[in-house]
Amino acid sequence: MFVLNNARGESVDLNSENLFGNTPTGLGTVFTNTYSQYESYFKATKINIQQGQMQLNILFGDVESRSYQTFSQFSTFLSFQPLTLLYKTGVDTWHRDARLTSLTKTEIGGTTVLQTDKLFEQFTIEFINPWYNNKQGRYKTYNIDTGLSIYGSGFFNEQGDFNQNLILQSSGENASADSRPNLSGVTNNNINSTIVYDSDAITLNYTGTGSTEWYYGLAEAWANMSDSVLSFDKTYTISVDVKGTVPGVAFRVSNTFSPTTKISNDTWTRAVYTFSILNLSGDNLNKFYIRLNAMASSNTSGFVKGQTLRFRHFKLEEGNTATAYTSAPEDGVTDANMKYGFGFMGVAYDDENGNKPYVDEAQVDITSIE
């Protein structure tokens, strides 16, 4: 029940066979109160806690022959002050610092407390502070468990049966020179044509000689792959709505043409091309470009000055399937075909998610925008 520590960090158990403490007094608290009286009423003006003393009777030694030795060792222990009394209740441990007031010394069988074959003495200490309870905090480091996540909630517009669009400002609607389809980190351009930004699309008007190519370059030659969001080791699918008076269009990716898509000036046609970007050699090592070329007899012949090529809703996505058009998440636009809802987003610590934010669709109330 009682353990006593000294200033050297040594401890003695006051309820052991060698030191058997009993009949403790002074464990409680006494206050001195000062009052101001008004008629028969008293208002407390000052409350002081009294210092307090604890007295304990101690039986020294487990046998008579060791009683004096135990008393001597205990006296030496008490010389290193201040002392700390630990009161263990079985539920918690309370501490109170103290200094020695007295330790009686009689003879075996001659004590006034109790006649016995061992030294039986009175031990008194004065407390120098109230009872206090030490709490310990333990900190443990560990490796992150697979599958644990940090989650947050909010509204998201990157859910549904489609892939992320890698082209920024991709709609082509109400565009401008500073806000038109582009790939982050690289230069975009139009060649041998004027460009008009209509409310529903972008229009190129051919200004060449009939034997010069014209196109819209999403990533103009030669762009550094390291500056873009693309890579050489992935498969991509690009798609766009096109119409115009030019006979057809084709995508051109680092000198490789897609099959030509025939178009008309009356209806929108969706041109689609799946590709991987080849890493070339020499001066073009680690470089690339992506264009939407006008096509007639070829990319450099059969054109008529003033021909038009109109385009809208560019999409470049990972994989070999063209999914429904949606804007890039960076554009902050909610499109037709896009699903959104209130859900949970977090950082997942596993190889599949690559420590990137993602939406847990299993916990989302999805609404379709038509």
Per-residue pLDDT tens over the stretch 162-213: 688 999 999 999 999 999 999 999 999 999 999 999 999 999 999 999 999 9
Per-residue pLDDT tens over the stretch 307-321: 999 999 999 999 999
Half-sphere exposure of 301 (CA within 13 A, CB side): 2
pTM for the structure as a whole:
0.52
Q: For the chain, how many residues are written?
A: 370
CB 214 within 8 A of CB 197: no
Q: How confident is the model at residue 146 (pLDDT cuts 50, 70, 90)?
A: low
**163-337 CATH, one of 2.60.120.260, 1.10.1530.10, 3.30.499.10, 3.40.50.360:** 2.60.120.260
**2-127 CATH, one of 3.40.605.10, 1.20.144.10, 3.40.640.10, 2.40.30.200:** 2.40.30.200
Per-residue pLDDT tens over the stretch 299-349: 999 999 999 999 999 999 999 999 888 888 888 776 655 554 444 444 444
Residue ranges of domains in the chain: 2-127, 163-337, 339-370
The most confident of 27-31, 130-134, 166-170, by mean pLDDT:
166-170
With a CB cutoff of 8 Å and minimum separation 6, the contacts of 294 are 204, 206, 213, 214, 215, 244, 246, 248, 249, 303, 307, 309
CA–CA gap between residue 270 and residue 322 (Å, rounded): 10
CB 333 within 8 A of CB 191: no
